[in-house]
Structures are given as structure tokens and as C-alpha cells.
Amino acid sequence: MRSVFVLLRETTGSEVAAHLDRTYPSQREPWVMLVDGDAYLYFDFYRDGPREHEPQDWANIVQQLSGEPAVAVVGDVSGQHPGDEQAAEFVADLLTRFSGAAMDDYTHHLWSLAELREGHRVAGHPFFDYKGWYTEQAPIRGDSYSR
């Protein structure tokens, strides 16, 4: 599963949950973004950051964010759909409403809302560029096909 993470400051889980309930009322914890009745994106609170990252990686995230995130949300993209637009919409929605930054599975960079809107690139890739990273890594892995 491909994921995006939104690390928020100066808010509470209750405030974020209330916003998600209003925006995505079909289901709660996990919330679901539906497109034509089909689930494209599942998201929930992300509480495993310090455990899932190496200590130095988490320390770098906290430093870049200027402190521990008050609330974190993870969005998992369904494997049945590309989900690019939905992931971007989800992240932009949260970063427009709350202060913070986003991460994807492919870089250690914390992406600001401005960077996302401006098409900023890290190592030649925009945010959540799973196709580009896969294609770039395929020769290293020896894969002969691309998605």
C-alpha cells in the first residue's frame, strides 16, 4: 500500500476528527474518500511515527517540524486505483485547514503546502511520485516492467 502522512501542529485530535467527520462523513476511523462509490483513500490517525522510524530519522522529522507533531494522519491509497489526485486533495485539505507538513513513502523531506502547490521536486521527483521512484529503482532491482 502507498501512503502519505500529514504531521500537524497547534491542533488537537478532536479538532482534526471533527474536520474529517464533516469532510468525509461516510465512515470514521478509518475515514474513506469515495469516488463514484469506490474507496480510493483510507485515512486514520497515525500514532506509530516514533516506533516505525529509526530514532535519528524521527529526530530529523521533529527538528524539521520544529517539535513533535500534535496530531498525525496517515492516508493509505487503495491498490486498485492510482490515487494521485485523491492523495493530493487529502493532503492539501488538511494543510489548508491546519498548520503542518506532509511526508510520502519516497523521501525524507517534509513537504509544505506551498511546495505541494508549486510542484516542488526533491531528487527530481514531486510529492508522492510512486511511478517515478518505481521506474528509477527498477534497474537497481532488475525489474523488467514498469506500471
At 45 the pLDDT is: 97
Distances (CA, A) of 30 to 4, 25, 112: 14, 11, 24
* Band (140; pLDDT cuts 50, 70, 90): low
pLDDT digits (tens, 9 = 90+) for 53-72: 999 999 999 999 999 999 99
- Model pTM above 0.85: yes
* Band (32; pLDDT cuts 50, 70, 90): very high
| Residue 95 lies in domain | 2-141
At 142 the pLDDT is: 58
Contact between residue 122 and residue 133 where contact means Cβ atoms under 8 Å apart: no
DSSP string, 63-113: HHHTS--SEEEEEEEPTTS--HHHHHHHHHHHHHHSEEEEEESS-SPPBPH
d(CA 18, CA 121): 32
Tell me, what CATH number does 78's domain have? 3.30.1400
Residue 147: inside a domain, yes or no? no
How many domains is the chain built from? 1
Residue 146: inside a domain, yes or no? no
Indicate the pairing of strand 2-9 with strand 71-77.
antiparallel
As a whole-number percent, the residues of the chain with pLDDT over 90 amount to: 67
Residue 90: inside a domain, yes or no? yes
Residue 24: inside a domain, yes or no? yes
